[in-house]
Amino acid sequence: MARFENKGVIVTGGASGFGAAISKAFAAEGARVMVADIDEAGAKELAASLPNAIAFQIDVTDEERTAAMAQAAVDAWGSIDVVATNAGLPHRTNPLIETPTEDFDFMWAINVKSIYLAAKYCVPHMNEGGSIVSTASIGGRRPRPGLTAYNASKGAAITLTRGLATELAPKIRVNCVAPVSSPTGFDKNAVGIDTLPEALEKQVVAGIPMGRRAAPEDVANAIVYLASDEASFLTGVCLDVDGGRSIQ
């Protein structure tokens, strides 16, 4: 299929983890993809491996760079069809009252403000029928101890999605996905190690009825669906990509 033939798609945090899978999935559907990432070398490397892709270096918490990202997309394509606001990070796992204030502030900057900035600068250039899809977290619905600031920011991302959807309908649809834990860079940022110890991995998986953590492709497939015409009547939706964790 080529559901996004000649559509212009921006993917923030697009060079690794969920973002790389999202970039690849849209490219496979015929889209012209902007791989936007703070890792310029990684963005360029991935973009070079995809058809009709370009790279853009961005700190998504920076307003000027976000405005420049939108302009770069317009310069390349003339307009924007999809913005996958995927960039985000957790803080190091610890109790909320032990979380450094700067870590708390950073959660809101990278997980919430980044969506606001992307919308502010991309929406004026988006085509009728365009779509914004953000990456939230199942922690925004079912928070658990140790990542409270992160989970609160993802809960805010879900509410931002719903509010923005009401403001931009019917021209632009706004949705988000809520993934469960995934063996990506999340582990490194949350617990400081690249791979979870076997005992902790089993503990995490035990709370997921489908018996595994999310793969990047699971998240990419959900985002591509929400951005597609097949989901043309869906807006303000938060799609749980959690293997059933939220029903436990």
Q: Catalytic amino acids?
A: 150
What is the SS3 assignment for 81? strand
Q: Report the alpha-carbon distance of residue 68 to residue 222 in Å, rounded.
A: 28
Give the contacts of 49 (CB within 8 A, at least 6 positions apart): none
Q: How far apart are CA 37 and CA 57, in angstroms?
A: 5
Q: Is the separation of the CB atoms in 100 and 198 below 8 Å?
A: no
Task: Find out whether the peptide bond into 216 is cis, omega within 30 degrees of 0.
Answer: no
Question: Distance between CA atoms of 40 and 16, rounded to whole angstroms?
Answer: 11
Evaluate whether 33 touches 39 at the Cβ level (below 8 Å). no
User: How open is the CA angle 87-120-49, to the nearest 5 degrees?
Assistant: 40
Determine the Cα–Cα distance for residues 127 and 74; give it in Å rounded to an integer. 11
Helix, strand, coil share (%) of the chain residues, nearest 5: 50, 20, 35
Helices (H), the chain: 17-28, 40-48, 63-77, 101-108, 114-122, 148-168, 185-191, 198-206, 216-227
